[in-house]
Structure 1
Amino acid sequence: MRRERLLGRSLFREHADVEVERAGPWLVPVGQATDAPERIFSLVGDRPAVVVWSCDAGEPALYRHLRSLNLVQIPVWAAAGASTPPENGVEAPAETVLFRHWDPRVLGALMPVLDAGQFIRIVGPASEITYWAEDYGGLKRVIADPDWRGAGGGLLSIRGEQIALLGDRRVQASRRRIMNFLRTSVPEHASSRSDSELYQDVVRYEASARAVGLSSERSFGKWAHLMAMSGEAIAVRDGSAHRYLTTAPGHPDDKLEMLIAEMIAVGRRAEQGA
């Protein structure tokens, strides 16, 4: 922030790791200079790292509130990375984890699944929260009702059924990102498809990707590209690509990268020999 001549306070102040504290998040008042918003966005670039809070109660009140949101309680199974609870039906204890309330993607996914008490707990003394959640409909404004009563203290807690809803919303967002990628990378295929048709394509490509062991969104997107380019021939079960991904040693995500690199190399050799 020194480069952009901005003053701010770390929301991780007194963190045991100085580098973690330095890396943010920070509360940066936009009223410190007329061009502060421009400088903030210049510093952030295209990273999803800006949430704008309006708080008539003043900066000290907002700072205390945001510091109180740094942690959240979620079920242990969710903290371990699962999207659904264990099948034994036993209510799992909660675990305290970091809450990235400064990330527009997190707020874009989370805010619609909250109940009234949770919603008020996040808004706190603010009158408005604004953020750009590209994967969840773009610009979002959360406006506080003047009649709301202040929420009590304590950690924000997210319930198991809300975690499941978050998982559904993130899957939808991932599929929309892959749709946008296909419209750019394979326009000859995507331009002839309606949003509904392309969405169904992406769902089908995703199922095919999982069938060969792929697991990351990055791999899903690349597999979707190959599926669209090949008319889905890449997924033929007795084909060389399917055999390589499902039987050769190594993780399928890594093998897909090597497969694509080899396909590019073959294409270049063919061009040079033409």
Structure 2
Amino acid sequence: MPAADVEVVHPVCKDVMMEATPIIDLPDLAESARVLRQTVDEMNGPVTVVLDGGAFDDLPAALAAEAISCRSLFLEGVPLDFRRAGPWMAEVSSASMRSHVEWLDTHHNCAVYWSCPVGPDALYRHLRTLNEVMIPREDGEDRQQGGAEKQRYERVLFRHWDPNVLGAVLPILTRSQFARFLGPADGIVFNGPDYGGVRRARKADNMPDAAIGPLRLGLDQMERLKAAMLHSSRLRIARYLKKNTPPHFSGVDDDFVWGATLASERTADELGIRTERGRARWAYVMVVSDGKAADLPDVRSFIQEKGASPDARVKELIGHTVDALRFGNALNGAAS
């Protein structure tokens, strides 16, 4: 049984198989903000917010300008730039402070709201224990102990202050893992646009004891997490295609865009295009070439030419393609 009751308060995508067409567009910002405010209003007790410093040049300074105090969830010895881009916990004690935080979240998708009956200090101590998570090592080396294999783990940063990360991770946790995640808190609210929109997760009455030690994800959980992250990446690529469809194209709907996104993946893998941005650009090239670009020897050799990564090459290819489209001859001279 999955862990916690993670409720989708403002759904933005269908619960369907990966190949089916989801809702591609992001939800309306104003409506998301309204639903988020209402959901936070329904939380029990005082509400504390954790903000993602990575969305800003200097979040502490921006909050101080609004008389909002905050404290880092990273240890003092962490380098300043890394610390500044990390999680910051703030207590919003007035309506104006909360309104400002909500404005920041609406425009930067950067806030996780926590309800903790025992107070912010206990929550602060707890959250500092969540900054790392244990995941299975991928080097394929298992140690033999008593004739049985023992999976080896490594510590990685757990960005629990990023709403989209929580949208991917919380649904895969067991109930005891979720109890470990909540600690002294009784619920959280966040807006993860790529993972269901506004979500609320609350401690159940029959919640088991928390798992001991740091959060530790199993192999099956990592596979589910990778699948969720892949789906999210596909959604962002589909939005890129939908936004950048050439004006002379007709009959382009979400089914077409989603199908084009999935269809471009095989050739992107073959050509070694790894980054999400590179794969989005490659999907665009495949669309404007009516799926023919991958079969053109000049295009393939250009992308795989030594001296630059395939992702960098496909960026150059985009420029050639756009120029060619202006003259009505897509991919003319693309590899020159």
TM-score band by shorter chain is 0.7 to 0.9
Contact 1:70 1:99 in 2 (8 A): yes
1:256 corresponds in structure 2 to: 314
Q: Which amino acid aligns with 2:168?
A: A
Q: Shift of residue 51 of structure 1?
A: 0.7
Alignment of 1:134-145 (within 5 A): 134-145=193-204
The verdict on how the C-alpha distance between 1:191 and 1:3 changes in structure 2, with shifts beyond 3 A counting, is farther
Contact 2:246 2:288 in 1 (8 A): no
Residue by residue, what CA displacement relative to the aligned partner does 1:206-254 show, whole Å, maximum 9, x if unpaired?
112112221111011111112112211222243x222211345421111
Give the counterpart of 1:66 among 98, 116, 127: 127
Bigger RCO (CA 8 Å, 6+ sep): 2
Contact 1:174 1:217 in 2 (8 A): yes
Structure 1: distance between partners of 2:324 and 2:290: 19
Q: Which amino acid aligns with 1:75?
A: P
Structure 2: distance between partners of 1:153 and 1:90: 22
The verdict on how the C-alpha distance between 1:91 and 1:218 changes in structure 2, with shifts beyond 3 A counting, is farther
Structure 2: distance between partners of 1:264 and 1:114: 45
2:13 corresponds in structure 1 to: none
How many pairs does the alignment contain?
Answer: 261
The verdict on how the C-alpha distance between 1:140 and 1:43 changes in structure 2, with shifts beyond 3 A counting, is closer
Contact 1:227 1:233 in 2 (8 A): yes
Give the counterpart of 1:166 among 206, 225, 229: 225
The verdict on how the C-alpha distance between 1:187 and 1:250 changes in structure 2, with shifts beyond 3 A counting, is closer
Structure 1: distance between partners of 2:309 and 2:82: 31
2:115 corresponds in structure 1 to: 54
Q: Shift of residue 107 of structure 1?
A: 0.7
Structure 1: distance between partners of 2:299 and 2:246: 23
2:87 corresponds in structure 1 to: 25
Please provide the CA RMSD for this pair. 2.8
Question: Unmatched 5+ residue regions in structure 1?
Answer: none
Structure 1: distance between partners of 2:317 and 2:211: 55
SS of residue in 1 equivalent to 2:204? coil
Give the counterpart of 2:268 among 209, 233, 237: 209
Structure 1: distance between partners of 2:283 and 2:142: 32
Q: Shift of residue 137 of structure 1?
A: 1.3
The verdict on how the C-alpha distance between 1:28 and 1:8 changes in structure 2, with shifts beyond 3 A counting, is same
SS of residue in 2 equivalent to 1:69? coil
1:231 pairs with 2:290: yes
Structure 2: distance between partners of 1:235 and 1:114: 40
2:70 corresponds in structure 1 to: 8
Structure 2: distance between partners of 1:213 and 1:9: 42
Q: Which amino acid aligns with 1:25?
A: P
1:192 pairs with 2:241: no
The verdict on how the C-alpha distance between 1:267 and 1:201 changes in structure 2, with shifts beyond 3 A counting, is closer
Give the counterpart of 2:182 among 99, 123, 133: 123
Contact 1:71 1:99 in 2 (8 A): yes
Structure 1: distance between partners of 2:290 and 2:142: 39
1:38 pairs with 2:99: yes
SS of residue in 1 equivalent to 2:95? coil
Q: Shift of residue 152 of structure 1?
A: 5.3
Q: Which amino acid aligns with 1:131?
A: F
Question: Unmatched 5+ residue regions in structure 2?
Answer: 1-62, 329-336
1:180 corresponds in structure 2 to: 239
The verdict on how the C-alpha distance between 1:152 and 1:116 changes in structure 2, with shifts beyond 3 A counting, is closer
SS of residue in 2 equivalent to 1:100? coil
1:154 corresponds in structure 2 to: 213
Q: Shift of residue 128 of structure 1?
A: 1.6
Q: Shift of residue 35 of structure 1?
A: 1.4
The verdict on how the C-alpha distance between 1:213 and 1:97 changes in structure 2, with shifts beyond 3 A counting, is closer
Q: Shift of residue 20 of structure 1?
A: 2.8
TM-score (norm 1): 0.84
